[in-house]
Amino acid sequence: MEINAREARSRISSLLDRAQKGEEIIIIRRGQRVARLVPAYETQKRLPDLSSFRGTIRMKGGALSETVVQARDEER
Protein backbone atom coordinates (compact mmCIF):
# COMPACT_ATOMS: atom_id res chain seq x y z
CA MET A 1 0.00 0.00 0.00
CA GLU A 2 1.23 3.50 -0.79
CA ILE A 3 0.10 6.55 1.16
CA ASN A 4 1.17 10.19 1.22
CA ALA A 5 2.83 11.63 4.33
CA ARG A 6 -0.04 13.93 5.27
CA GLU A 7 -2.58 11.12 5.22
CA ALA A 8 -0.16 8.80 7.04
CA ARG A 9 0.09 11.26 9.95
CA SER A 10 -3.67 11.25 10.40
CA ARG A 11 -4.01 7.46 10.07
CA ILE A 12 -0.85 6.28 11.87
CA SER A 13 -2.70 4.01 14.31
CA SER A 14 -4.51 2.07 11.59
CA LEU A 15 -1.30 1.91 9.51
CA LEU A 16 0.57 0.42 12.46
CA ASP A 17 -2.18 -2.20 12.87
CA ARG A 18 -1.91 -3.13 9.21
CA ALA A 19 1.88 -3.34 9.38
CA GLN A 20 1.65 -5.54 12.47
CA LYS A 21 -0.52 -7.95 10.46
CA GLY A 22 2.23 -8.22 7.84
CA GLU A 23 1.38 -5.55 5.29
CA GLU A 24 4.06 -3.24 3.92
CA ILE A 25 3.18 0.46 3.78
CA ILE A 26 5.16 2.90 1.61
CA ILE A 27 5.03 6.57 2.64
CA ILE A 28 5.32 9.10 -0.17
CA ARG A 29 6.33 12.75 0.17
CA ARG A 30 6.23 15.13 -2.81
CA GLY A 31 5.81 12.23 -5.20
CA GLN A 32 8.85 10.27 -3.99
CA ARG A 33 9.00 7.20 -1.81
CA VAL A 34 10.66 8.19 1.47
CA ALA A 35 9.85 5.46 4.02
CA ARG A 36 8.67 1.90 4.41
CA LEU A 37 6.58 0.69 7.33
CA VAL A 38 7.07 -3.06 7.80
CA PRO A 39 6.45 -5.55 10.63
CA ALA A 40 9.16 -5.54 13.28
CA TYR A 41 9.47 -9.34 13.31
CA GLU A 42 11.12 -9.32 9.87
CA THR A 43 14.42 -8.18 11.33
CA GLN A 44 14.31 -10.70 14.15
CA LYS A 45 13.52 -13.88 12.24
CA ARG A 46 15.72 -16.67 13.50
CA LEU A 47 16.06 -20.30 12.67
CA PRO A 48 14.34 -22.65 15.11
CA ASP A 49 16.35 -24.33 17.84
CA LEU A 50 17.14 -27.83 16.61
CA SER A 51 18.93 -29.19 19.68
CA SER A 52 16.00 -31.41 20.69
CA PHE A 53 15.74 -32.71 17.11
CA ARG A 54 19.45 -33.46 16.98
CA GLY A 55 19.14 -35.48 20.18
CA THR A 56 16.68 -37.85 18.48
CA ILE A 57 19.03 -38.72 15.59
CA ARG A 58 20.73 -42.11 15.93
CA MET A 59 23.74 -42.93 13.82
CA LYS A 60 24.93 -46.29 12.59
CA GLY A 61 28.62 -47.07 12.68
CA GLY A 62 31.41 -44.90 14.01
CA ALA A 63 31.85 -41.20 14.00
CA LEU A 64 32.40 -39.60 10.62
CA SER A 65 35.83 -38.30 11.57
CA GLU A 66 36.95 -41.85 12.48
CA THR A 67 35.58 -43.17 9.19
CA VAL A 68 37.44 -40.51 7.22
CA VAL A 69 40.73 -41.22 9.02
CA GLN A 70 40.29 -44.94 8.43
CA ALA A 71 39.60 -44.41 4.71
CA ARG A 72 42.71 -42.26 4.37
CA ASP A 73 44.83 -44.92 6.06
CA GLU A 74 43.45 -47.62 3.74
CA GLU A 75 44.30 -45.55 0.65
CA ARG A 76 47.95 -45.20 1.70
Assign 9 to helix, strand or coil.
helix
Q: What is the pTM of this model?
A: 0.52
Distance CA 24, CA 37 (A): 6
pLDDT digits (tens, 9 = 90+) for 7-20: 999 999 999 999 98
pLDDT digits (tens, 9 = 90+) for 45-66: 678 888 888 888 887 777 778 8
Distance CA 64, CA 32 (A): 57
**Which CATH number is associated with domain 1-41?**
3.40.1620.10
Return the pLDDT at 44. Answer: 62
